[in-house]
Amino acid sequence: MLRAIQHELLLRKEEFADVLVSNIYFGGGTPSVLDTAEINTLIDCVRQHYTLVSQPEITLEANPDDLTPQKIESLSRSAINRLSIGVQSFFEEDLTLMNRAHNAKEALDAITLTRPYFPNSSLDLIYGIPEMSNARWEANIDLALSLDIPHISAYALTVEPKTALESFIKKGIIAPVEDDVAQAHHTLLVKRMEAAGYHNYEFSNFAKPGYHSRNNTAYWQGQSYIGIGPSAHSYDGKRRAWNVNNNPRYIKAITEGRLPQEVEVLTKTDQYNEFVMTRLRTQDGVSIAAVTAQFGDHMKSYLLEQSQKHLEEHLLFIDNDHLKVTKKGKFLSDGIAADLFLLNLG
């Protein structure tokens, strides 16, 4: 697999021939099972075939149960300079319900042990969990803030099809996920994080000044990225591609010098809708001038016309030629974006 990933990096280097790479992100599974030598081999391959900024952000997603003291010390000797740790919750009952491999102590230890080695790090939390009270959610936030970690990502629980959680909800063993509970939790989150000096630079992401994730920021600003490995997605503004989600088929294709991917060419409608959806989730909002420049005056008029109802309801506002969601509208931003979409442009 590692040889195949290196080979894909080589096969695709021309896609980024004129691009200066600012960040490398190991994610989409359990990359923390890699040892330091394997991680450095992949990073060295990127350095060999791509042009990087002088100090790229190199993030590794890690599960708390993988982050033993020995593993952390070893990772600190790699080229990784940022960790994203999938804590999800500091409470045992939440982790059990979500069927997580780690326990509450491992979640806390993972952050405590990594802080001296990785000052630039992030943790993930989940809210909207059935039977999670506002008090327990606030206790999760309090504990995260007490650890002085500079970046926190928080996501509403989603119930995936054909999972144990979905089965338990259908059988009435666990209460269903409720949108109003998730909205209350998100409102509480925003209030607490802003009071603690974090910027809510994107709907789900909060950072202290200077610690915005380059990877997240690039995605929400619509910058190009290459996804390497099985199931990995890529995007260049006009096309979206994704690799086959089967390991043996991936390795076989790459070994034969073929890219095992499907490609979708985005129409102007797709490009406009993507632009609105991603930008509206950010603190900068949708640049009206950028819409005009990329899609024309008629799309600027369409955007403002579709926004009118939400402006009147104080869910949107215009600030320095940028269309932004209000605090009242923040949790509804995806639904608001859908109202701004265009459905019939070729």
Q: In which band, very low, low, confident or very high, does the pLDDT at 245 lie, cut at 50, 70 and 90?
A: very high
Nearest in space to 1 (alpha carbons), one of 276, 338, 250: 250
pLDDT band for position 344 (cuts 50, 70, 90): low
C-alpha distances in Å from residue 18, one per residue of 57, 247, 266: 19, 30, 22
Strand partners, 121: 83
What does DSSP assign to residue 166?
A: H
Residue 20 backbone class (left: φ over 0; alpha: ψ -120 to 50; beta: rest): beta
pLDDT tens string 151-203: 999 999 887 787 777 777 787 777 777 889 999 999 999 999 999 999 999 99
pLDDT of 333 reads 92
The Cα-based distances of 269 to 78, 206, 293 in angstroms read 43, 30, 15
- Rounded mean pLDDT, 88-115: 92
Percent above pLDDT 70 for the chain: 98
Cα 64 to Cα 42: distance, rounded to the nearest angstrom:
23
Percent of the chain residues past pLDDT 90, beyond the cut: 86
pLDDT of res. 179: 86
pLDDT at 346: 45
345 pLDDT exceeds 60? no
Average pLDDT over residues 298-323: 96
Question: Tokens in use for 231?
Answer: 């199931």
Which residue, 29, 191, 55, 60, is CA-closest to 122?
A: 60
Looking at per-residue confidence, does 344 or 334 come out higher? Answer: 334
Q: Reply yes or no on whether the pLDDT at 25 is more than 70.
A: yes
DSSP 278-334: HHHTBTT-EEHHHHHHHH-HHHHHHHHHHHHHHHHTTSEEEETTEEEE-TTTGGGHH
Q: Looking at per-residue confidence, does 244 or 167 come out higher?
A: 244
Structure tokens at 345: 């442009």
DSSP 224-279: -B---STT-EEE-SSEEEEE-S-HHHHHHHHHTT---EEEEEPPHHHHHHHHHHHH
Quick: pLDDT tens for 286-309.
999 999 999 999 999 999 999 999
Q: What is the pLDDT of residue 317?
A: 97
What average pLDDT does the chain have? 93
pLDDT band at 29 (very low <50, low <70, confident <90, very high): low
More confident of the two residues 28 and 22: 22
Query: For 6-12, what is the mean pLDDT?
Result: 97
Q: Provide the edge-to-edge strand list for the sheet that holds 239-243.
A: 233-235, 239-243, 261-265
Residue type, 97: L
d(CA 168, CA 188): 28
Half-sphere exposure of 243 (CA within 13 A, CB side): 27
Domains of the chain with bracketed CATH: 20-220 (3.30.750.200), 233-265 (no CATH), 268-340 (1.10.10.920)
pLDDT at residue 131 greater than cutoff 60:
yes
Is the whole-model pTM more than 0.85? yes
Residue 176: per-residue pLDDT? 75
Return d(Cα 82, Cα 149) in angstroms, integer: 12
